[in-house]
Amino acid sequence: MKLGLALALLILPVPAAAARSGDQAFASIPGVERPERARQNYILKCQGCHGPTAQGNRSNTPPMADMVARFLAVPGGRAFLGRVPGVATAAVADAELAELLNWTLYRFDAAHVPPGFKPYGAAEIGKLRKAPLRTDAASTRRVLVDDISKAQAAGK
């Protein structure tokens, strides 16, 4: 009886959302050598605040889902993503952090990754991490979100 149940569970179709959450759907992300490592780093370094679906919370963690790649479209947005405290101070090497950031952009906001996007690299992340946004992260984010809204209204 247990064997039959186990076999039945193995052949059930996997919901699309569950399949998308696996690394197979993200096997060829620009700037991501090992999607499984990036996903693991997200779970260990980001998910505690941003949640498994990058929705954040209203009190202190902004959402990344359907939003994070929009920062790439405004001046200063790309640097902002590498300088926010949770990114700049993450306990991973620069190359893994670049991989994690690239993975996050495609995993949670692929629709807004601009055409011709140049993936973050270790050298760029290393430079950005030297100037983390500490007390001014929220105010910088507000300005950039306002710029994003203006660009969207202008059709850019």
Neighbours of 58 (CB within 10 A): 8
- Structural domains for the chain: 31-153 (1.10.760.10)
Percent of the chain with pLDDT over 90: 76
What's the distance, Cα to Cα, between the start and end of the chain in Å?
A: 59
- With a cut of 90, say whether residue 40 has pLDDT above it: yes
The span from the CA of 129 to the CA of 149, in Å, is 27
Residue 94 is classified by DSSP as H
Distances (CA, A) of 60 to 14, 17, 133, 136, 137: 34, 27, 15, 14, 12
- With a cut of 70, say whether residue 126 has pLDDT above it: yes
- With a cut of 50, say whether residue 5 has pLDDT above it: no
Q: What is the pTM of this model?
A: 0.81
pLDDT in the model for residue 25: 54
pLDDT in the model for residue 28: 87
Tell me: the pLDDT tens digits for 92-121? 999 999 999 999 999 999 999 999 999 999
The span from the CA of 99 to the CA of 23, in Å, is 14
